[in-house]
Structure 1
Amino acid sequence: MAEVTTFAHGYHYGDYSGVIFYGPPTNGFWVDRLAVSDCYISPLFHAVLDRAWRESGGESVPRVASEWNTLTGWANLGAGVVPLQSVDAEDIARAFTTVSESDLAQHVTGSTIEECLACAWTIQEFICARLTESSIVYIESD
């Protein structure tokens, strides 16, 4: 596996942060990674949260999105690289596949709906490929 930077931050003015998904380290280095800018991940997380609240009153919010929203767990300042439980990785991957254009419409700024949907698909593929290999998926607020 290799580093995927298609959706990484730092390509647009003021684009300084985001989230990084990792596969397992290789010889102590995090070379298997997917960097995602806030201009993509923020609308995606908002869309996931909105959909979960609309469909279940918030009962089915994936833990990864919930922690991002509350700045707890992996999203807590200084948490570093945090392993995800496979069920949490599966939940967020599944949630990203159900996000629609209408879910994203009110949240997209600094990117397009199409770019966010492509990013959601890329994240889902990244996570599912590692889970298929029985690898741990890690996450970091960057």
Structure 2
Amino acid sequence: MAAPILTETPDRCVVIMDKELHGGILANAIAVIALTVGQRHPVLVGESLVDASDFAHPGLIPTGIPMLRAPQAELVRIRHEALNNGCDVVDFPVEGQQTKNYEEFKKMVAQLPTENIKYTGLALVGQKKTISKIVKKLELMN
């Protein structure tokens, strides 16, 4: 089953991480998810930032990215709800942090039915109103 094709230009992205992750493991998972979101949705990246010396800095996301957290079991429900509401979901299975070999990671995931996959975190991309309804009860990451 492929990810849904967004019918409207996305105007919102949120990241929701397993609330038990900390330090380098948390930072790694956020970086992996963010890199994939940027590749899948370049429309979210703003124009280059030009400083007073006329040096262009890479564009950043102009809407910001709320960083939320939830219990790992809740991530499965959020993922399912987001997909059912037409959002694109970038998910990072926990197996990705159990190996440094991408081929091994792919094999590990290939052995799991979707309902048995646990996630370090998710990014939801889509329409602000839809995403807000899904994440309204989640707490901000601190």
Q: Normalising by structure 1, what TM-score?
A: 0.29
Q: Which has the higher contact order (CA 8 A, sep 6+)?
A: 2
Q: Normalising by structure 2, what TM-score?
A: 0.29
| Structure showing the higher strand proportion among its residues | 2
